[in-house]
Structure 1
């Protein structure tokens, strides 16, 4: 499965509601660039986005650029161990296995609390002229390293980009390469920043010693800058490093940074360069943890520390003899006062004194018993003398034994052992009490944090409820305005539609009349022509008289008879009138009707077939006048329609403008009310956060004092343990000095 690119993550995060599975992130919004796009912080392994969610909580979302397969297992182990350790240097986070959807597929993300602080390099550069701040930071660095080591944690990539200074305190981010005991036996997915890691480090190195080298590098850099701030400019500090680069580690003999320390003229920086050269002779797994006892003010010119010589391959020094104690680190030697050697041999002639005393006592006893044998004295005298001499010799031998150098030495060693043991017990009690005190401080701090966080959460929830209520009122007002706008649009559209319908019907009727006007002109011409033909036929027929016509079978008498009955012209001949005339039979009636028909046919044949120009001109002018009238009427209706529609739209625009003003007023009131709500709650939140910061400051101050005391007691315990081991070894090296043996050696010649 292809892993998303930074661009694909960028496109997905533009729509948080569909991209994230976490409800809080879905309701959040990413911090944007000036172009309106999500602003990522992209590294070698992940792109980090800043998400602002409800209650103004800010989260860092790490989107992984590579798939390691065991992300979830590693982060589950890291999360569990950090929750148990509860260290002040870490930030809260949650691993979401199906956290983001990109291209239809779910991918893991890391949801980490966003820490507002100052980048490590910026903080160091800003305090170059305040050495005390850098030395305090260096001391914090040592304490943090020791705390992580005691918790069994190694960050895996200690470098400037993964350290943030928050109110003068150190915070670590980016836990991709972190080691915890539950991950023992695995390999690392990264080898850390090249300017902070041992040149021989690889993926196989993954254990509690992972941070030893980078811890020394950062600590040494801070101390060197505190002593000589000009090293920052000289070695181009801030360019992806403090003052050291990988080239200084791969070729220490040609190292510009180490040479600058040596040529600075400051003995302390020269000793620091020697220390780092010694570290570079060791393998990564042999680099010792930092002990915090590098006292640059008290450094003496002496060979490299014993622990460095012990780890250098091919060391030519002779191995310690069996039974000898392991040499102490160099800094312990500064605290141990080696007792002067006591001579183990008695002074010349001292071994003959007991023999002379014993010999003289024996002579006196023999003399007393000789006198008893001679009867010169009784039994009591020699017996008492012998007892006195035996007791005196025993006391003398005991006194001599007590003053023997070997016995004196063993007695002194045992006395010192007893004193060291008492100091060990006292130190153990003080250390236990200090640890209990530190735990109590942490407990009180956690309780106060919980109380204040609970109040902060309640305040934020109250603020959110009020903001939600206000937003709902605001949204209802906007919805009401939207309904009014929609109703206005509908009313305006309906009004315009009615106006257009009314006028468009009249315009369409005129258009229909205009369209029919040409055909009307043709029809009028046809009617006029028909009229002219009929007039011609009528006039022609009116001039055709029966008496002048030659009609077969119709003589003058018949014509006269027809005249008497009013039938004079051809138009007077009809079937009804002929039937009422005597003497006109059917035959003559048919003849007359046939004649009339022939005359009419002749008339129609002679009738005009087209209009003359005058008629055509009259008809055309009449229709032109009609066309002009209709066109003027159409233009008048169109102009009136335009005025009506414009008036309706202007009226709607005025009403819409009033709605816009109302919306602006509603929005201004909403912003003012939201600002008032936030101001009220922010003041309370600021008070609570100030109280929390005060608690943190006090607890940190007390804890720092106790931790320093614990560190001092730990060092004292280590020193006492070493002294105890050294005195025990010294006691074991002393020759046996029992009293019977001493008597035997004192009285019997060898």
Structure 2
């Protein structure tokens, strides 16, 4: 299997696998799969069972005749081979005699099994299970209450098997739970399975959204992965066993759920489905529904396992009780667990604070001496008032009502001294103080919702930014590769052009060397012809001496002449042009003599050129060829260095990409850890808020009761107590 190009390797699509599987004799190497017969569609093509990240095909081996489910992957999975090796090793250690049912299917991970195009890809070869999905089984059997209840118990036993061996499936849902003909369960799709050997690795998926906790994140991976989905499935099966009509009422045909969906977990208050089960007359169903509602807002590591909440029972103990026997509401939960679980499991959730236990007195009890005095004062004061009226003291300064007012004041004093009044005031004051210490549940819930919305928005942005940052990093890497290739191509083009031009350069060098040799030969011949020994016509010894004094002794000392106009004498003269380009004026050399000298020189040049060499010597040619070869070797070495430099640049770019990806992964992992802690904190706040809300309601109710009790300790009731004792 070749390495991935860039950050991840591209895998074929389901259609590309189906096309390759039309020729299993060619695409497979494995002896049991080579030439295998795929199950075909009506169009004669291999029939795929497509999922989010793979396509599964049914193949019958020609050698063994056994039927296999061959899983062809359509996306990259980190550490895929390592994960399947660990899962296979762990499942192979399971003793079938210790399992409740044969739920685990044997499989084999084949790294380079199938050829698609020019590359080979891994497949998973798994035993074919003659079974139907859980949802299909319920379509046909939901009316059989005993069979559904028995299946619920077998599901709980399967979960117990997994828990006992520290295994988590990771994606428990109706499509991955198959029901065999003997009504036992089979587990398929082990992509996200957790086994102890994989501890420390991250998860590869989040599971089906209609079965997972809203708080499950991409980085959650451990033995507790299945806890929430186990509760959801167990609740659904028990509810259908109790009332088969719920399957038709709450399930949708071909729906990707049993009875509850993701929306029921994220917004339980507005969930009609969940409300139906919360108010169900069967106490077990309502208790399980209450538990699922509670667990939906708790982190995965705080969830109680289903295996602890359901006690072990012998098969004979399973009895379906008619719902009419459970017409009462669900009993109050103990520590977050339904009442029907009491005694089976310790509380997994934080216990709610108890309601106030101090009772506020609402009646007067035992008379005190002061009460007796008050009771005696009233008749006396009434008698005084009557006497005053009889004897005519109505005009007295204080009037006849003064004794009544005095008795009333004494009664108020007596009632105020009653311990019941003090107790009632103390209870109400204590409840009010406790209420003041608690946050307003409505405001606290609003703040929690606002903080959670802000966090979710930031997480959504972070989750979206991470792949964008990876894509940007990858795009920058590919852009750098393109620039490296462009520079390499341009430089190679330049060097190839220079290398190709060496032949022409050699010919030019040979011609230049020959021209230089010929020029030197002619100049040497001219240098031997002295003007004084063989003077041209019109040049005597005196002029030859003047020419020699001016530096012109031989035909090689000058190259020609230039005519000049002498304005003073209105005549035309001549200047000789020396071999170095300088011009001289020699007395006695006019235009005629200069022309004679030039003609003499031309004759000598022609005579020398007639006998000059026409080719270079072997040594001269060898010297030029050696220079060309040295230049060719240097250009060839430079050409090789261009490829080496480009490879070094590509390696550097690859290293920068890997470093950048590692940095992004580290940052994303740290951010994921922070997000998980935030989610756990939100969950704890939600649990605390729920507890405080219950506490607030209890305190409010108790305060209202205490206030009502205090009102019952009125003056009228006090007076009635004085004379009747009630």
TM-score range, shorter chain: 0.3 to 0.5
More helix per residue: 1
TM-score under structure 2 normalisation? 0.42
Answer with 1 or 2: which has the greater Rg.
1
TM-score under structure 1 normalisation? 0.41
